[in-house]
A and B are shown apart, each in its own frame.
Chain A
Amino acid sequence: MKQLRPAILGCITLVVFCVIFVVPFFFIALQAVKDRQGSSLLNFSWPSETQLWQNLVDVVQARDYQLLLAYFNSTVITVFSVTGLVIFAAMVGYVLQRRPSKWNKYVNFAVLAGLMIPPAVVPTIWLLQQIGLFKTIHGMILIEIAYNLSFSILLYRAFIATVPRDLDEAARIDGAKPLQLFFRVILPLLKPVTVTNIVVQSIAIFNDFTNPLYYLPGKDNVTVQLTLYNFQSQFSTQYHLLFMNILLVTIPPLIVFIFFNKQIVEGMTAGAVKG
């Protein structure tokens, strides 16, 4: 009896979790393969006719292949901003943790401010216009870096504290200059937290809606989340296509999650609790 309890508890929890957390996903997938009539009922009935491929083609072709463009834009934004985030945040976290200086308290304050203060939207647009970055992909990349730096720095700072200083000193005696020390000795050792950073930030940036909405308007600059938003009105009677679209833009984060599931959970918690 005593050994049975964990199993029973586990099964009950699994069922409850499935209903609460998985049913909505099932719902998305189900609607995505229905035809127009079937999906307009919005129910769980098994589709009389599945038309996965047809829906897929329809969504991709909609609005002059807007989804493909959006995929391209979102990928470019995500890849470049995450690369920048990893390198710049690691550099800050590293010096912040290693070198006590009178700057540290300002940097720490800036990190906290970045985590809490909501960005001032219109002044940012105004500024971006002044420096010619409004409605540009590289402007968007820089914005994503600026807004997500704080979180990455916290993760890195907590982790760098666990890298022994002896290594720095050994490398200095071996003749490493600051850049070599950082890129050849320290950065490789930060791999676990770098993976966490890449995964968490790439999902966040890929899924970002608000910032592209404000700073990246224009048909050519569309990102995946904006396609959803745009289609929401256009497809209000074509739920099967709307849900197919949701399904399609969820695939990249899902793949990332499946590969790095463990690191996300571990890394998030390590950084979050210490930070």
Chain B
Amino acid sequence: MSGLELKKVCKSYGAVEVIKDLSLQIESGEFVVFVGPSGCGKSTLLRMIAGLEDCSGGTVEIGGEDVTDAEPSDRGIAMVFQSYALYPHMSVRDNIGFGLSLAKTPKAEMNARVEEAAKILQLTDYLDRKPKALSGGQRQRVAIGRAIVRNPKVFLFDEPLSNLDAALRAKMRLELTELHANLNVTMVYVTHDQVEAMTMADKIVVLNKGVIEQVGKPMDLYNNPATAFVAGFIGSPQMNLLEGAAARKLGAEIYGIRPEHIDISRESGLWRSTVRQIERLGNDAILYLDVEDVGSLTVTTDGQTDVVIGDMLFATPQPQNEHRFPTIAR
């Protein structure tokens, strides 16, 4: 049971700075999700916590201990990889127990711990199979089992669900959340899927080009994004971000309004627009509007709406949900 602290860590490959002077405090038992666009340094940061990458500067502390120079295996962490990284030549049992056998754990204790982990993950029937003979979801669970059995202080996940299909992903999302509740340990989870971030996290860390844009609870980020970048990244469909004259008219360098926070009417409103495209999702419909002098606007509305392409509509932002930002993302 212990938290994690990064103090001014940085990482560069040659002249390229991938992580810049990053500090972050993670409380014990928290489920923290790193999100950000591809290449922003999420995996790098996670691997620095794991000890798979050296830090170019700064310190990493786990449970109050400085582990900056410690071997990955001495840090009290466990990691689940996107590719699962199961040892193909070992049975599920040996895969899960490999770490214990390296640590010269007595046979009986090892078996007990492997079987307990298998029980938690419903893998008991598959213990003697090779990874080749498992489904994607089962492999995923073996990878998690290998992590559980180490009894780590911190679990690290690097996009563990991105190789699964949509239905299985939703199921595993739930299972992971439950696992977190049961084990009550610190988990750090990397994803670029903002749905995973919103649904699973106690705390989201939004990264952009190697620096933290914002840290906060999922709903805080949704309601009060600190920067236009966060605003654009959290929430789906993306927030409308207006710049230039249109924004200045509304009193901001950048003016943001979420698609679900725009009211439409056929009679009157702030912006006169024509409907360019409609996507019907069932309970919702997404309208793409062309507004004179403003540009394109995305609006979500009721799925049963009778609007058709080419209609003329008035759109009005809800004043209590407007966002104003000084300038665009770095």
Q: Is A195 located at the chain interface by the 8 A CB criterion?
A: no
For A167, give the chain B residue with the smallest CB separation: B85
Instruction: Compute how far the CA of A155 lies from the CA of B71 in the bound complex, rounded to whole angstroms.
Output: 31
The reply to whether A164 and B85 form a contact with Cβ atoms under 8 Å apart is yes
The reply to whether A167 and B73 form a contact with Cβ atoms under 8 Å apart is no
Min C-beta distance of A179 to chain B, whole Å: 11
* Binary B-proximity of A160-183 (CB < 8 A = 1, otherwise 0): 000010110111111110001000
The reply to whether B71 and A170 form a contact with Cβ atoms under 8 Å apart is no
| Cross-interface CB contact of B103 among A164, A167, A175, A185, cutoff 8 Å | A175
| Cross-interface CB contact of A171 among B77, B98, B103, B150, cutoff 8 Å | B98
Min C-beta distance of B154 to chain A, whole Å: 11
Please count how many residues in chain A sit with their CB below 8 Å of the partner chain's CB atoms: 17
Q: Is A11 located at the chain interface by the 8 A CB criterion?
A: no
Min C-beta distance of B130 to chain A, whole Å: 12
Instruction: Compute how far the CA of A172 lies from the CA of B78 in the bound complex, rounded to whole angstroms.
Output: 10
Measured between beta carbons, the chain B residues less than 8 angstroms from A188 are: 89
The reply to whether A173 and B83 form a contact with Cβ atoms under 8 Å apart is no
Measured between beta carbons, the chain A residues less than 8 angstroms from B88 are: 189
Q: Is B57 located at the chain interface by the 8 A CB criterion?
A: no
Measured between beta carbons, the chain A residues less than 8 angstroms from B150 are: 174
For B47, give the chain A residue with the smallest CB separation: A169
| Cross-interface CB contact of B73 among A172, A185, A191, cutoff 8 Å | A172
The reply to whether B81 and A169 form a contact with Cβ atoms under 8 Å apart is yes
The reply to whether B102 and A169 form a contact with Cβ atoms under 8 Å apart is no
Instruction: Compute how far the CA of A55 lies from the CA of B140 in the bound complex, rounded to whole angstroms.
Output: 64
Answer whether A175 and B89 are a contact pair too, CB < 8 Å, given A169-B52, A170-B146.
Answer: no
Answer whether A174 and B83 are a contact pair too, CB < 8 Å, given A180-B102, A188-B89, A189-B88.
Answer: no
* Binary A-proximity of B77-108 (CB < 8 A = 1, otherwise 0): 11101111111110000000011001100000
Q: Is B63 located at the chain interface by the 8 A CB criterion?
A: no
Min C-beta distance of B20 to chain A, whole Å: 24
* Chain B interface category by residue count: 20 to 34
For A164, give the chain B residue with the smallest CB separation: B83
Answer whether A185 and B87 are a contact pair too, CB < 8 Å, given A173-B73, A173-B79, A174-B102.
Answer: yes
Q: Is B72 located at the chain interface by the 8 A CB criterion?
A: yes
For A180, give the chain B residue with the smallest CB separation: B102
Q: Is B234 located at the chain interface by the 8 A CB criterion?
A: no
Instruction: Compute how far the CA of A167 lies from the CA of B98 in the bound complex, rounded to whole angstroms.
Output: 12
Q: Which of B72, B78, B83 has the most CB of A within 10 A?
A: B72
Interface residue ranges of B51-89 to A (CB < 8 Å) = 52, 71-73, 77-79, 81-89
Answer whether A175 and B102 are a contact pair too, CB < 8 Å, given A169-B52, A170-B79.
Answer: yes
Measured between beta carbons, the chain B residues less than 8 angstroms from A174 are: 73, 98-99, 102, 146, 150
Min C-beta distance of B81 to chain A, whole Å: 5
Instruction: Compute how far the CA of A185 lies from the CA of B146 in the bound complex, rounded to whole angstroms.
Output: 15
Answer whether A169 and B73 are a contact pair too, CB < 8 Å, given A174-B102, A176-B102.
Answer: no
Instruction: Compute how far the CA of A73 lies from the CA of B305 in the bound complex, rounded to whole angstroms.
Output: 89
Measured between beta carbons, the chain A residues less than 8 angstroms from B52 are: 169, 172-173
Min C-beta distance of A147 to chain B, whole Å: 31
Min C-beta distance of B106 to chain A, whole Å: 16
Interface residue ranges of A6-54 to B (CB < 8 Å) = none
Q: Is B50 located at the chain interface by the 8 A CB criterion?
A: yes
| Cross-interface CB contact of A172 among B72, B84, B87, cutoff 8 Å | B72
The reply to whether B102 and A173 form a contact with Cβ atoms under 8 Å apart is no
Answer whether A169 and B89 are a contact pair too, CB < 8 Å, given A174-B73, A174-B102, A176-B102.
Answer: no
The reply to whether A170 and B73 form a contact with Cβ atoms under 8 Å apart is no
Measured between beta carbons, the chain A residues less than 8 angstroms from B77 are: 173
Measured between beta carbons, the chain A residues less than 8 angstroms from B86 are: 170
The reply to whether B73 and A166 form a contact with Cβ atoms under 8 Å apart is no
For B103, give the chain A residue with the smallest CB separation: A175
Min C-beta distance of B280 to chain A, whole Å: 41
| Cross-interface CB contact of B83 among A166, A172, A180, A185, cutoff 8 Å | A166
The reply to whether A170 and B102 form a contact with Cβ atoms under 8 Å apart is no
Instruction: Compute how far the CA of A176 lies from the CA of B101 in the bound complex, rounded to whole angstroms.
Output: 10
| Cross-interface CB contact of B50 among A164, A167, A171, A173, cutoff 8 Å | A173
Instruction: Compute how far the CA of A246 lies from the CA of B210 in the bound complex, rounded to whole angstroms.
Output: 69
Measured between beta carbons, the chain B residues less than 8 angstroms from A191 are: 89
The reply to whether B85 and A166 form a contact with Cβ atoms under 8 Å apart is yes
Measured between beta carbons, the chain B residues less than 8 angstroms from A166 are: 81-85
Answer whether A189 and B89 are a contact pair too, CB < 8 Å, given A172-B71, A174-B73, A174-B150.
Answer: yes
The reply to whether A173 and B89 form a contact with Cβ atoms under 8 Å apart is no
Instruction: Compute how far the CA of A176 lies from the CA of B52 in the bound complex, rounded to whole angstroms.
Output: 13
| Cross-interface CB contact of B81 among A170, A175, A185, cutoff 8 Å | A170
For A163, give the chain B residue with the smallest CB separation: B88
Min C-beta distance of B141 to chain A, whole Å: 15
Instruction: Compute how far the CA of A185 lies from the CA of B102 in the bound complex, rounded to whole angstroms.
Output: 12
Min C-beta distance of A110 to chain B, whole Å: 27
Interface residue ranges of A168-211 to B (CB < 8 Å) = 169-176, 180, 184-185, 188-189, 191
Q: CB within 8 Å of B: which residues of A? A: 164, 166-167, 169-176, 180, 184-185, 188-189, 191
Q: CB within 8 Å of A: which residues of B? A: 47, 50, 52, 71-73, 77-79, 81-89, 98-99, 102-103, 146, 150
Instruction: Offer 7 A-B interface pairs, CB within 8 angstroms, sorted by A.
Output: A166-B82, A169-B79, A170-B85, A171-B98, A174-B73, A174-B102, A174-B150
Closest 4 CB pairs of A and B: A175-B73, A174-B99, A166-B85, A170-B85
